[in-house]
Amino acid sequence: MQSAPPVDELSPFYRREGEHYLIEIKLSDLQRLFNSLDPSPFIEKDLNDDAEAYIVEVARELPSRAKLKLVIYLPEAQTAERQDEPAMAVRHYFDYRYQALGRDLRHKLRNGRKSLVVGVVVLFFGIAGYQAVGRFGGDGVWWEILAEGLMIGGWVAMWRPLETFLYDWWPIDQNRKLYNRLRTMVVEIRDTKRSSPVHGGVTPQP
């Protein structure tokens, strides 16, 4: 049996409030924003996967230099308590994700440099072997297959480092920049009845 998503109502419209673009979430309970299985103290709790995915998706669609504000609408009984803790918990989580992506990027580039050294060495010996076979080998088909195999093997060894430095690293770097924006965004708790709640929201199915 699937559990209900943590977000009771999400707005498909991205409004502005002054210089900030709003990411708006309406909840029946603040705890639904966080992973209920996480035993960490409140400030250090992980966000619920669905909540994180929604916040990240909206932030990704907004202009890259836009200032962000996460507005969490709660029933009146919950808005008077722990005003600062939810903001600290959200920013702490996105800071953790930012740091983790930084480690992933460094690990990716470090492995890329190692694979580049290996690839260059293999390519060098592949080209040298190709030339040696062409110069000292015979004219038979097997000598040709050996020479071409050495050359192809040398270039294949360069596939992994080229993939790393041309394609693999920049998606991680883009996500890291996005999480850097999220870890510094403004977070506000508002009373659902007294504030302008989200319009045209979507109610997830249980």
108, 114, 95: which is closest to 181 by C-alpha?
Answer: 95
pLDDT, tens digit (0-9, with 9 covering 90-100), for 125-172: 988 888 888 787 667 788 788 888 888 888 899 999 999 988 999 999
Q: Please name every residue paired with 186 in a beta bridge, in sequence order, or none if there are none.
A: 69
Question: Residue 53's pLDDT is what?
Answer: 92
d(CA 129, CA 190): 71
More confident residue, 64 or 108: 108
* H or E, element range at 164: none
CA 64 to chain CA centroid, Å, is: 15
Give yes or no for residue 205 having a pLDDT over 60: no
Helix (H/G/I), strand (E/B), else coil: 144: helix
More confident residue, 38 or 8: 38
Q: Give the model's confidence band at 10: pLDDT under 50 very low, under 70 low, under 90 confident, else very high.
A: very low
For the entire predicted model, the pTM comes to 0.75
Average pLDDT of the segment spanning 62-67: 88
Give yes or no for residue 98 having a pLDDT over 90: yes
Give yes or no for residue 11 having a pLDDT over 50: no
Percent of the chain with pLDDT over 70: 81
d(CA 19, CA 68): 9
CB atoms within 10 A of CB 125: 15
Average pLDDT of the segment spanning 54-72: 90
Q: Which of 4-13, 16-25, 39-48, 82-91 has the highest mean pLDDT?
A: 16-25
Give yes or no for residue 55 having a pLDDT over 50: yes
Average pLDDT of the segment spanning 68-88: 77
Question: Residue 82's pLDDT is what?
Answer: 61
Helix (H/G/I), strand (E/B), else coil: 192: coil
Q: Give the model's confidence band at 105: pLDDT under 50 very low, under 70 low, under 90 confident, else very high.
A: very high
Question: Residue 27's pLDDT is what?
Answer: 85
Q: Give the model's confidence band at 196: pLDDT under 50 very low, under 70 low, under 90 confident, else very high.
A: low
More confident residue, 191 or 203: 191
